[in-house]
Amino acid sequence: DKPTYKWQRVLLKVSGEALAGDQSQNIDPKITMAIAREVASVAIVVGGGNIFRGSSWAGSSGLDRSSADYIGMLATVMNAIFLQATMESIGIPTRVQTAFRMSEVAEPYIRRRAVRHLEKGRVVIFAAGTGNPFFTTDTAAALRCAEINAEVVLKATNVDGVFDDDPRRNPNARLHDTLTYHEVTSKDLSVMDMTAITLCQENNIPVVVFNLNKPGNISKAIKGERVGTLIGG
C-alpha cells in the first residue's frame, strides 16, 4: 500500500477552472459545496481563471498587463467570497484575507492572524493572489504555504494528477505517481508555472496534484492519503 503522510498543516489550492466544473456559469455551486463538505481548518488559496485571466487579456483592447492582472486578482476575491459563503452556510467558520486591502469585504492578509485562525479551527481563504501583477495564484499558494509553515501544497484540479500525455486526447496516457521538481521543470510539465514550482523546490514544499471531482479526494489529500501525483525532492 502507498504510504500516508501526517501533515500538520496544508495549503489547498483551488483553481478557478476547478470551481467552474462543467457549468456554463463561472462557478458551480455543487463544486463549492463539495469542497465545503470536505475541508476542515485548512488554508486555501483560490484562483480566478474561471472569471478573468490577466495574461489572456493583456494586449487586447490596449489593456496593459498590470491592469489586466489586477482585474484577475479581483476575480479571485469573488471566488473567495463565494466559497466563504458556501462554507458558512453549513457552519464552517471561515475568514477571507486579501493580499490588498478591501476591508469592507474581507480582512487584509496578516500572517500571524491567519495562523491564529487556523489554530482556532477556522478555514482561511487567501484571496487576491500575491497582490502583485505578473504572478499567479499557484505562486501565491507556494508563498502562503511557506509563510504559514504549512507542509504541502495540495493542488486541486479537474484531472487525476500529472500524466505523461494529455489524458483527454490520449487514452493511454499514464499517470505519474511521483515526480521530482527537476522532472517537472526539465520536461516542462504543465503542473504549475515555473515561479511557483521553483518556490516550492527552494523551500522543500511537496506538491500533490489531484482530482477534486472525485468524492472524498479532498479529505483524503488533506489527511495525507496518497492521491494523484506527488512532486518532491
Residues that bind ligand UDP (CB under 6 A): 15-17, 47-49, 53-55, 68-69, 72-73, 75-76, 129-130, 132-133, 135-140
Strand, coil or helix: 64? coil
**b/e burial code for range 33-47 (CB count within 10 A of at least 16 → b):** ebbbbbbebbbbbbb
C-alpha–C-alpha distance, residues 229 and 207, integer Å: 8
| C-beta closer to ligand UDP: residue 18 or 123 | 18
Closest CB 120 distance from ligand UDP, rounded Å: 27
Strand, coil or helix: 95? strand
| C-beta closer to ligand UDP: residue 139 or 213 | 139
Closest CB 73 distance from ligand UDP, rounded Å: 5
Closest CB 199 distance from ligand UDP, rounded Å: 12
| C-beta closer to ligand UDP: residue 16 or 228 | 16
**Residue 4: which region, alpha, beta or left (left: phi > 0; alpha: psi -120 to 50)?**
beta
| C-beta closer to ligand UDP: residue 129 or 224 | 129
In this structure, are residues 126 and 43 in contact, taking their beta carbons and an 8 Å threshold? yes
Closest CB 136 distance from ligand UDP, rounded Å: 4
